[in-house]
């Protein structure tokens, strides 16, 4: 076991507090993931990545920095990873998925902020996330009021750059976003000292697209009955996508998919063929937020997809064709990002269509709408989702929760009743 | 007493429910306003306007409609009244200030939505607001997640048009907003059948600017010690500004200001000269949301200003110079509206400057930051306001509340303790 304490110390982590965080994870991970039956062997890679969550990957980032490279933190799928990579920097999704860092955040942020935002801010404020500590700056966006205003406060503790995402899909909205991409490009060039050339961007986009393609392949494999991989494992893979080395991650996802192809061919599942198939839709789930998936799985269901930013919204939309020029590529990136069917847009009817398609094509018997408490945009769309699914006779369970364990009993009861209803 | 029941019936109001609403108001108004000592005589006009709140003014709107005119509902200071007036339509701020309509809204909207949004939606859903019923359509905006997504649901019950407000004050943000104004102009022309000409717009802007000028004059009068008008009365005037006839309203505000000038000259106040002077800052207060002002006043303080959308943010920023052309005027309107220091912008440091200036120039001894529960944008700015005021040694009281009466006792206790501290 490598000792990372000097690295964490160098990153100005609160070592005692950070110890508490890391002590809790292995047991939680073992209970949640390692205890599953009949896991694909290729999940071993992801088990290893998690076992080194604040170790090896952080070491890689630090080595990159030691060689003069930059690390850029991000929280949202609207921030284009390929632009960051093209500048020679490494993009990393930041810690945001645990109640552990929430009390720290509540010293500053309003309490009725969603758990994701509080957790992410708390990780910086409490100095317990090596990724934000390692990042040269953070790129925020304006996808919700909570994050938009949190970034203003975060900027007092860490270099933060905010890009605007428009709220209506209009011609001028696209222009504005394109200009924001140009400004972000200039910012990245200024920070890294590297020029983002057309060639570098083609390469970076290819790298990122390969990752997305692998994730789409994994997503497709979940159409099979029985599902060849558990919802927990599939969610974990998407979560890891946000911070792992892109090329290595892609290779390992494809290896996993090869194994799943074999399972599908032989009818082997991670669960019984008659397990109720559930689509989860709504707010994103950052590591280690596995709460809902675990409850569903413990209750006998199998999650076959996540219509979420830690799911389809991250990998579904491919970059459109372009002429190879830098300007043309930025336009393609703008179009790709704006294709994300996020509740930040008004209207956002495409998301409803996505959910209907996913429910149908992945043969989901029910949908669970997962809403982080105080996330206004998704909470408001829940009603539309409910109405649209009702028209197709697909039952919906609406869950609103946070990162605490306080409502576990209640959630279990509701989930079990929902599954019981589906089984009838 | 004119009988408006046939008009309300024509507007498809829920008459029984509406009766309950109207029955409650006179007593509440008498207790809150008419019981005040030494009110300016010119407040008689506003007393009359409130006594006819769902009567005479609605009748005027209906007469306007009978003559082929249009009525346009709005909720936000970003919607330019002059553009609506230039199309020959009447802009009206819609009902949004009471707990009465909140339960209706909660049948549809997420509960943890701010009271203002729930109240406004509930008025439509429960058919208890003659203004929204009389409106040919509503113009919404994207100033917060709660409203942005509420408008999508509102559109299922009432014609609703949404204009985008940018989130960063950039060149492209201004371009986007300008384009939204052009689209709104086209929409208004299409709905009214009238052309918005340069001449009509000059006239309409002059009308609206006269109103704003009168409100600025009233606001200035409150600098005097003793304050010549109570906080409640001044707030009421701004609230009425959103739906009264513009020219008549302006005339009556100026008459009130003439009277206040006399009071100031003779040192006559609406309160003792040593009453603690309070600036209220934060979320808007729609009629009949007089809760905080009443508590402050009952506790012996005088509110000398509202840094709010029902306060300075509504009337402070004058239209800049323009070349008289339609294009030039739209640019001037864009610049005027974007000058509004709303928490929807990131960053929004100008608002902090405004609060410091108001506290200093209006000789406020303390500031009360008023936050509607679940209003993320203002809640996040509260900390910045607190820090900035602390640097100037101005005490701040942070209040987070809704429209219910449940926290009245607690608020009173906190306000009294705050005033006691100021008096020392």
Strands B160-163 and B137-141: parallel
Q: What is the dihedral of CA B239, B242, B372, A173, to 10 degrees?
A: -160
Nearest CA in chain B to A178: B172
What is the least distance, in Å, from the CA of A79 to any CA of chain B? Answer: 16
Point out the residue among A170, A179, A381 whose CB comes nearest to the CB of B149. A381
Q: Are the beta carbons of B346 and A145 separated by less than 8 Å?
A: no
Judged on CB neighbours under 10 Å (0-12, 13-18, 19+), B261 is middle
Distance from the Cα of B74 to chain A's closest Cα (Å) equals 17
Q: Which residues of A touch B166 (CB under 8 A)?
A: 164, 166, 176
User: How far are the Cα atoms of B68, B104, B151, B283, B377 from residue B136, in angstroms, in the given order?
Assistant: 11, 22, 15, 27, 30
ipTM: 0.96
Tell me the pTM: 0.96
Distance (Å) from the alpha carbon of A385 to chain B's nearest alpha carbon? 12
Angle between helices A349-361 and A376-391 (to 10 degrees): 50
Minimal Cα–Cα distance from A392 to chain B, Å? 20
- Mean pLDDT in residue range A312-323: 95
Q: What is the pLDDT of residues B73-126, one digit of tens each?
A: 999 999 999 999 999 999 999 999 999 999 999 999 999 999 999 999 999 999
pLDDT at position A146 over 90: yes
**A47 CA to chain B: closest CA distance, Å?**
37
Which of chain A's residues have a Cβ under 8 Å away from the Cβ of B184? none
Residue A302 Rama label (left phi>0; alpha psi -120 to 50; beta):
beta
Residue B368 contacts residue B399 (beta carbons within 8 Å): yes
Contacts of A413 (CB under 8 A, 6+ apart): none
A105 within 8 A of A122, measured Cβ to Cβ: yes
Residue B387 CB neighbours (<10 A): 12
Indicate the SS3 state at residue A290: coil
* Cα A351 from Cα A313, distance rounded (Å): 9
Residue A15, min C-alpha distance to chain B (Å) = 28
List of residues 6+ apart from B308 with CB closer than 8 A: B280, B281, B282, B283, B284, B285, B314, B370
User: Pick from A110, A99, A234, A91: which is nearest to A161 by CA?
Assistant: A91
CA diameter of chain A: 62
The residues with which A72 forms a beta bridge, in sequence order, are: A91, A137
The model's pLDDT over B116-171, given as tens digits with 9 standing for 90+, comes to: 999 999 999 999 999 999 999 999 999 999 999 999 999 999 999 999 999 999 99
Q: Which two tokens stand for residue A349?
A: 């009817």
Strands A137-141 and A160-163: parallel
- To test the contact with chain B by mutation, choose from A110, A111, A157 the residue with the greatest count of B C-beta atoms within 10 A, namely A110
What's the CA gap between B68 and B90, in Å, rounded?
12
Q: Which of B176, B377, B384 sits opposite A145 (nearest CB)?
A: B377
Dihedrals phi, psi of A246, to nearest 5 degrees:
-60, -50
Of A150, A168, A175, the CB nearest to B164: A168
pLDDT at B352: 98
Residue B319: count other Cβ atoms within 10 Å of its Cβ: 19
**Tell me, what's the pLDDT at B1?**
58
**B346/A142 Cβ within 8 A:** yes
Determine whether the interchain pair A380/B110 forms a contact, defined as Cβ–Cβ distance below 8 Å.
Answer: yes
Cα A162 → chain centroid: 19
User: Considering only CB atoms, which chain B residues are within 8 Å of A346?
Assistant: 142, 148-149, 151-152, 162
Q: Which residues of A touch B153 (CB under 8 A)?
A: 380, 383-384
Strand-pairing partners, residue B371, are: B400
Q: Tokens 């019923």 appear where?
A: B133
- How do the residues of chain B divide into helix, strand and coil, expressed in percent and rounded to 5? 55, 10, 35
Give A-chain residues touching B168 at CB under 8 angstroms. 142, 162, 164
Minimal Cα–Cα distance from B348 to chain A, Å? 9
User: Cβ contact (<8 Å) for A112 and B374?
Assistant: yes
Nearest to A376 among B149, B151, B173 (CB): B149
Residue with tokens 């847009």: A345
**Taking Cα atoms as reference points, which of A248, A276, B280, A170 lies closest to residue A237?**
A248
| Model pLDDT for residues A31-79, shown as the tens digit of each residue | 999 999 999 999 999 999 999 999 999 999 999 999 999 999 999 999 9
Closest CA to A91 of A212, A236, A193, A241: A241
8 Å CB contact between B342 and B166: no
| Cβ count near A20 (within 10 Å) | 11
Is A1 a residue whose pLDDT tops 80?
A: no
CA dist A379 and A398 (Å) reads 9
Burial class (CB in 10 A: 0-12, 13-18, 19+), A301: buried
For residues A376 and A72, the answer to whether their CB atoms sit within 8 Å is no
Beta strands in B259-395 (DSSP E): 277-282, 302-307, 366-372
Chain A residue nearest residue B172, CA to CA: A176
- Interchain contact, B346 vs A152, CB within 8 Å: yes
Q: How far is CA A170 from CA A165, A338, A381, B163, B181, in A?
A: 12, 10, 20, 11, 13
**Contact yes or no for B145 and A149 at CB 8 A:** no
Q: How many CB atoms lie within 10 A of CB A289?
A: 26
Average pLDDT over residues A401-417: 97
Chain B contact set for A175 (CB, 8 A) = 172, 175-176
How many residues are present in chain B?
Answer: 424
pLDDT digits (tens, 9 = 90+) for A83-139: 999 999 999 999 999 999 999 999 999 999 999 999 999 999 999 999 999 999 999
A-B C-beta contacts closer than 8 Å: 132
B392: burial class by Cβ within 10 Å (0-12, 13-18, 19+)? exposed
Task: Kindly report whether the peptide bond that precedes residue A226 is cis, defined as omega within 30 degrees of 0.
Answer: yes
A159-179: average pLDDT: 98
Buried b (16+ CB within 10 A) or exposed e, A141-151: bbbbbbbbbbb
Cβ contacts of B149 on chain A, cutoff 8 Å: 343, 346, 376-377, 379-381
Mutation pick from B349, B376, B398, B401 vs chain A, by most beta carbons of A within 10 Å, is: B376
Phi, psi of A136 (to 5 degrees): -70, -35
Q: What is the pLDDT, as a whole number, of residue B424?
A: 87
**Contact between B167 and A148 using a beta-carbon 8 Å cutoff:** yes
Q: Which two tokens stand for residue B346?
A: 């990131």
Shortest CB distance from A108 goes to which of B108, B347, B383? B383
Are residues A145 and B382, on separate chains, in Cβ contact within 8 Å?
no
Q: Which of B153, B347, B381 sits opposite A380 (nearest CB)?
A: B153
Nearest in space to B294 (alpha carbons), one of B232, B344, B234: B232
Quote the DSSP letter at residue B205.
Answer: H
Give the closest of A176, A373, A380 to B150, CB-based: A380
Contact B186, B64 (CB under 8 A): no
Q: pLDDT for A348-402, tens place per residue?
A: 999 999 999 999 999 999 999 999 999 999 999 999 999 999 999 999 999 999 9
Nearest to A164 among B110, B173, B379 (CB): B173
- Categorize the per-residue pLDDT at A2 as very low, low, confident or very high, splitting at 50, 70 and 90: confident
User: Angle at which helices B198-221 and B231-241 pack, to 10 degrees?
Assistant: 170
Q: From first to last of its 424 residues, what are the pLDDT tens digits of chain B?
A: 579 999 999 999 999 999 999 999 999 999 999 999 999 999 999 999 999 999 999 999 999 999 999 999 999 999 999 999 999 999 999 999 999 999 999 999 999 999 999 999 999 999 999 999 999 999 999 999 999 999 999 999 999 999 999 999 999 999 999 999 999 999 999 999 999 999 999 999 999 999 999 999 999 999 999 999 999 999 999 999 999 999 999 999 999 999 999 999 999 999 999 999 999 999 999 999 999 999 999 999 999 999 999 999 999 999 999 999 999 999 999 999 999 999 999 999 999 999 999 999 999 999 999 999 999 999 999 999 999 999 999 999 999 999 999 999 999 999 999 999 999 8
Closest CA to B237 of B83, B68, B42: B42
What are residue B102's phi and psi, to 5 degrees?
-65, -45
Tell me which residue has tokens 């600017």: B209
């Amino acid at each position: 076991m490598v000792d990372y304490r000097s690295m964490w110390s160098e990153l100005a982590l609160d070592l005692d507090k950070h110890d508490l965080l890391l002590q809790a994870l292995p047991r939680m991970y073992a209970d949640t993931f390692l205890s599953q039956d009949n896991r694909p062997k290729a999940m071993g890679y992801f088990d290893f990545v998690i076992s080194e969550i604040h170790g090896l990957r952080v070491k890689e980032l630090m080595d990159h920095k030691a060689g003069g490279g930059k690390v850029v933190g991000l929280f949202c799928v609207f921030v284009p990873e390929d632009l960051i990579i093209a500048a020679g920097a490494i993009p990393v999704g930041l810690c945001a998925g645990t109640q552990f860092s929430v009390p720290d955040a509540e010293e500053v942020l309003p309490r009725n902020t969603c758990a994701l935002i509080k957790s992410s801010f708390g990780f910086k404020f409490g100095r317990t996330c090596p990724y934000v500590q390692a990042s040269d700056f953070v790129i925020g966006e304006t996808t919700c009021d909570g994050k938009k205003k949190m970034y203003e406060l975060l900027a007092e503790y860490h270099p933060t750059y905010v890009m605007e995402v428009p709220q209506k899909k209009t011609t001028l909205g696209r222009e504005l976003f394109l200009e924001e991409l140009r400004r972000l490009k200039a910012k990245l060039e200024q920070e890294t000292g590297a020029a983002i050339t057309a060639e570098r961007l083609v390469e970076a986009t290819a790298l990122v697209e390969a990752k997305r393609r692998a994730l789409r392949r994994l997503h497709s494999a979940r159409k099979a009955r029985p599902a060849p991989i558990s919802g927990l494992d599939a969610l974990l893979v998407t979560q890891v996508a946000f911070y792992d080395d892109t090329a290595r991650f892609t290779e390992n996802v494809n290896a996993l998919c090869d194994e799943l192809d074999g399972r599908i061919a032989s009818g082997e599942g991670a669960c019984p063929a008659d397990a109720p198939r559930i689509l989860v839709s709504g707010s994103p789930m950052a590591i280690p937020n596995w709460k809902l998936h675990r409850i569903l799985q413990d209750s006998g269901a199998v999650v076959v997809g996540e219509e979420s930013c830690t799911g389809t919204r991250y990998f579904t939309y491919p970059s459109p064709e372009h002429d190879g020029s830098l300007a043309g590529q930025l336009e393609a990136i703008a179009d790709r990002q704006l294709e994300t069917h996020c509740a930040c847009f008004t209207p956002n009817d495409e998301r409803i269509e996505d959910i209907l398609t996913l429910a149908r094509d992945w043969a989901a018997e029910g949908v669970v709408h997962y809403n982080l408490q105080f996330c206004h945009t998704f909470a408001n769309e829940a009603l539309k989702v409910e109405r649209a699914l009702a028209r197709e006779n697909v039952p919906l369970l609406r869950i609103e929760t946070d990162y605490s364990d306080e409502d576990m009993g209640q959630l279990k009861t509701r989930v079990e009743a929902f599954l019981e209803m589906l089984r009838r």
